[in-house]
Structure 1
Amino acid sequence: MASALDVSSLAEDLLCPICLSLFRDPRMLECGHSFCAHCLEPCIPKGRRRGLCPECRHPFAPRSVTINWALCSLAEKARLLKLDEGAQLGGGGPGRAICTEHEEPLKLFCRQDEEPICLICRDMPQHQGHDFLPVKNAVQVYQDKLKASLVPLTENLNSATEDQRRQQENITALESCVQDLLGYISKEFEVLHQILHEKEEGMKKEVERMKKENCEEMEESLKELDEEFASHRETLSRAQAGLDESDHITFLRVRRDFTGGGGNKKGKC
């Protein structure tokens, strides 16, 4: 009874949660749950979107889905014991299964062909020279082999899980490093922008200072030119007025203001 319970418990671990059959080409998600490849296919989104585990709803990236080699091996070994889809492994007694060809109970197990056979099959030419075991004994033999294979498979599974954990830590560390680097770059360029802004403002102020200094000199020179122009215009106006003087004596007196000549003055009439 204990052996039957062990096999039944083992069977539950080898059944896909979706199709409830022995795993076929199992795929493992980041959360650790596994499903048949064809059962999981509808749950894998197209593109870069993340999917959800059908069992625990934990999100997963399509690229993170891996082959569960441990379950592949276990499910294949279970098939050799005829622990097939929907069957209650170990729950039935010997002789309940029927040979589809001869309709006789499957009481023997052919070691060469690795399949249960009936007594008539044993005497058929295709099984001539083969070794046979009672089904019950064959189950025990392969159960022992299967249990022995669980140790390295479990170790491999644990190792793969640890590798996944470390890889995820590496990815997290890389993402953190990238974020830190992006933050550093932003701060450095912020400082550079501030320096350039201050430099720009300083150069603008220097240009404004030079403009003001030169404009003041030029405006002072322009003021002097305006005064000189006004003086010349006044002199020209007076000279023009002198030309219009009808009195000859007066003309001769005022013309010296414009010609600069007065001659040798000895007396005054």
Structure 2
Amino acid sequence: MISHEQFSHVDTTPASQARERYRAGLIEPTAGVARGFTQANMIVLPRDWAFDFLLYAQRNPKACPVLDVSDAGSHTTALAKGADLRRDVPLYRIWRDGRLAEETPDASSAWAEHPDLVSFLIGCSFTFETPMSEAGIDIRHITDGSNVPMYLTNKPCRPAGRLHGNMVVSMRPIPADRVADAATISGRFPSVHGSPVHVGAPEAIGIADLSKPDFGDAVRIEPGEVPVFWACGVTPQAAVMASGVPFAITHAPGHMFITDIPDSAYHV
């Protein structure tokens, strides 16, 4: 796996500055923040559930591409120097028995309930938004200052151990004549979901109304644009709900952990 030491030669970066702001209490969606630095989804589980999730991720790599796994009981990661996974995400979700129990900007208290927590950082499609934008493709949720829309689909993930659930996707409206470009650009980043999983016809993947996302915010779809769907790192949260996981900590959808790793490190 890629580590912070391979790339960072200075202590202060836009990524570390963003983490400091979140540690101080700022809450905001992170799309477009610290451009050029890889963002990550997060799920934290007691060690008893960690192997089940690692197997789940291995069996569903499009939705759950693992970037780093912590030691049990650790709240650090090799992807960001000096980071504290308990406090450096702008908004956390605490799950109990498969139900959302709390959202909080500081997960330290919940983290202390289990001494053996294992953290998984999972690739995020925000990583390829910068090169898409540089290619002239509008990223609507960034343009409009909203959260990316995310939807629970009817596409089942391959189960593993006690975990099962359906894939979650993120959606970006893309002009019809740029869909191939968007697929090519994102496809060069397989470690952060890669190319789209579906184009157009949202009803074919179980989405009844694009104006009512399950997570995040609805966005404008202009004439001539096509809804394009990418596998999403909120998929583990769908598994937590479907499987009734006794305890978990995750990021709130759209509120990512920002690493010190440049996006280019995941380009192939």
Please identify which structure carries the higher helix content: 1
Larger relative contact order (C-alpha < 8 A, sep ≥ 6)?
A: 2
Which range, TM-score by smaller chain?
Answer: under 0.3
Higher strand share: 2
Q: TM-score, normalised by structure 1?
A: 0.24
> TM-score, normalized by length of structure 2?
0.24
